[in-house]
Amino acid sequence: MNKALKFLLFSMLALAVVLMTACGSDEETPPAEQEEPQETPAAEDTEEPAEEATEEAGGVVNLYTSRHYDTDRELYELFTEQTGIEVNVIEGKGDELMERLDREGAATEADVFITADAGNLARLKEKELTQAVNSDVLAANIPDKFRDDDNEWFGLTKRARVIVYDKDRVDPSELSTYEALTEAEWEGRVLIRSSENIYNQSILASFIELNGEEAAKEWAAGIVKNMAREPQGGDTDQVIAVVAGEGDVAISNTYYIGRLLNSEDPEEVKVGEQVGIFFPNQDTNGTHVNISGVTVTKHAKNVENAIKFIEFLSSEEAQFVFADGNNEYPVNPEVEVPELLQSWGEFKEQDIDLTILGDNNARAIQLFNEVGWK
């Protein structure tokens, strides 16, 4: 069988399995639903199809992504229409795709890798799985703080890590800052996931930068003291637990609330409607924001196409669709924020370069261990 055709068939198979097992979440599929969709036997049967495919008209770009939304696929089709470059997509969980990229080494087919969190992108860079891209288009479309200092990764969408509260039991006037959640009045009322999660590592990494290590550690210890239960599950599980009355507030990324509100399951919509979103630290150093982003892989065989593809995703035309598919904020400041997110109001962001989240990651993990945040 033609190798490019084999790759296409495998992509379709992997996609079908992903759709069956993990629809509606990116890197946060609950453990019970994880079936390592991309590790079908066919995965080992892909022998550098990209190289010969580049000689075809328009060529290809091979993408590993932890996102799987119909809107993303529509964008890839639009890119193909505009450039003649085919986009081959392998979808999977972020961690597993990262491991796969690492394992495949120089033999990988992946030209482009999309995943959540600047911390994860920094990890890819640290493992020398990324390469620098110097593009005037990307520099113009993506603000400096959402790009790697060495241009080895680029943010594509933005999310805020906010306080979510039960509308019946908490009045937003009681809320102010992340730090205030460590006070005695919140004892036994705070829900937040495990410190093994990159989102929490990144928020603590941001506090190390903004407030210093001592204050960051104090915050982590204070949250542990006020936890409603031992950390378990993902962000959505914390929000569900708020509505179930296990606690009164949760720390969650914004798009999970968007997913609940847009769910086809009326019970999930009810959960989304029962909670309010509060942007903390508006009078101090701002709400923590992070990105999902993209990198050209170190061993990309189709570098030019990869760069064209990323430039396209950063364009005004693509940015709204890309962000809207996961209820996120576009990184391109020229692009309108999706309506639902506008309804949550504007907010002040932390003013830090997200490269710092990677720099402070190891220290953040250490602080979590020191204060016993599981």
Nearer to Fe ion (CB atom), residue 28 or residue 324: 28
Closer CB to Fe ion, residue 25 or residue 80?
A: 25
Q: Which is nearer to Fe ion, 202 or 281 (CB)?
A: 202
Among 354, 311, 300, 320, which residue's Cα sits nearest to residue 130? 300
Binding site for Fe ion (CB under 5 A): 28
Closest distance to Fe ion from the beta carbon of 326 (Å): 8
CB-nearest residue to Fe ion? 28
Rg (CA), the chain: 21
- Minimum CB separation of residue 254 from Fe ion in Å reads 10
Residue 26 CB, shortest distance to Fe ion, in Å, is 5
Pick the closer one to Fe ion by CB: 60 or 192.
192
CA 315/CA 138 separation, integer angstroms: 9
Q: How far is the CB of 248 from Fe ion (least distance, A)?
A: 23
Nearer to Fe ion, 277 or 307 (CB): 277
Closest to Fe ion by CB, 28 or 152:
28
The gap between the terminal CA atoms of the chain, to the nearest Å, is 49
Closest CA to 192 of 148, 213, 222, 217: 222
Q: Which residue's CB is nearer to Fe ion, number 28 or number 72?
A: 28
Task: Name the β-bridge partners of 62.
Answer: 88
The tally of CA atoms less than 13 A away on the side-chain side of residue 128 is 2
Query: Shortest distance, CB of residue 91 to Fe ion, whole angstroms?
Result: 14
Q: How far is the CB of 31 from Fe ion (least distance, A)?
A: 15
**Cβ–Cβ under 8 Å, residues 71 and 313:** no
Contact 155, 291 (CB under 8 A): yes
CB of 157 to Fe ion, least distance (A): 11
* DSSP per position, 265-301: SHHHHHHHHHEEEE---TTTT-BEEEEEEEEEETT-S
DSSP E strands in the chain: the ranges are 60-65, 86-91, 112-116, 130-131, 154-166, 190-191, 249-253, 275-278, 288-297, 329-330
CB of 355 to Fe ion, least distance (A): 20
Nearer of residues 53 and 122 to Fe ion, judged by Cβ: 122
CA neighbor of 252 nearest in space, from 273, 274, 234: 234
Spatial separation of the C-alpha atoms in residues 66 and 1, rounded to whole Å = 28
Q: Which residues pair with residue 251 across a beta bridge?
A: 163
